[in-house]
Structure 1
């Protein structure tokens, strides 16, 4: 996004500039296919990015051009984001994809189950397919690049808050290829999933479907001890801690 004409704010939700009507998103698409309508109240937004200068510029500019959103908090790391989002409970989180301590996917992994009503919109300099797919699989509702204009970003925020899925046009194709499984579509790699062996995927798939260890062993013609070994390996590779988290992880990746 551009910050050529930043204007100062007096605090969240206040401006000293003149509000301008938000326009139609020209370089972002949504699955809903309709234009966002003005909300009765501002959409509360939490901004996550590891660059303090970008956060300051984005906060000032976004709030100066529209009264449809209100920035209620910001964070520059995964830990700060998890604590701040949990405390503030915003409607929408603008989420950077790459941060030194884990990035957007890690924030989603920690919060998605705890805060199901919070919507996450990825905002990144990266337009790489693997980044887009990883964060969408983790639970983000949309993904736009930082080349988006400020007015268009406001509209994207409002649209995801209203239930739309919003993507920059080129990125939408990645998502369709990965999730719609169109004939001839080039498969998108998932580094976390790719590290599992075929047998570990088989065990995980049955585990996520609710099978007991004994039932998995019978289904795959292996011993219960071997099942336990595979589950331990999957837990280690995914850095998860229990069966519930594994089931949710597998569901997110459509293994079930």
Structure 2
């Protein structure tokens, strides 16, 4: 791991990034889903539906949903009858998810505070590992990918949904202007937190492009790695298998 890592457009010490990211998500936890709707025009719901269809959860499977604190992915996965463990480093996000689960009647989910880089689960424990819009906030992404590989059984599958860089001519410029200028203002209006949403946008810009991240997944030990671009790569579904 390098001496510095990106926190938005800043380069900071690894421990500083972990601390600051924790502050961001503690700040936005209660308004996170409202802001997702505002930032994506509600499209994040469609992306998450498609993501879970790609995972193909099955009854009786053990699935780890990492960085899944608010439960959005876990609720979708749980409908299959799979056993879902929701892990998140941020207790405020977990509190939001647990409250939502109680209201929706999802009683069988397991909720645990965990760091993606240093999981305490045993080797070869899960059938699938999912992470949606969380990997770019991890301080040491290669370490998190290695941990994902470690906790998966042979034949286990890894799926990641994350913002990336759209390759559509013209659309990239429009989205860039929208995200940099309007999203922080929406954060101020809806969550009274402009700085946190400015970071979230900047973190997308600093995240590796689709092919680079696909290579990182392969370096962690996964095979048959694939990437499925959505909106030309504005969002991407990455996947791999442990054999």
TM-score (norm 2): 0.35
TM-score (norm 1): 0.34
**Greater per-residue helix proportion:** 2
**Greater per-residue strand proportion:** 2
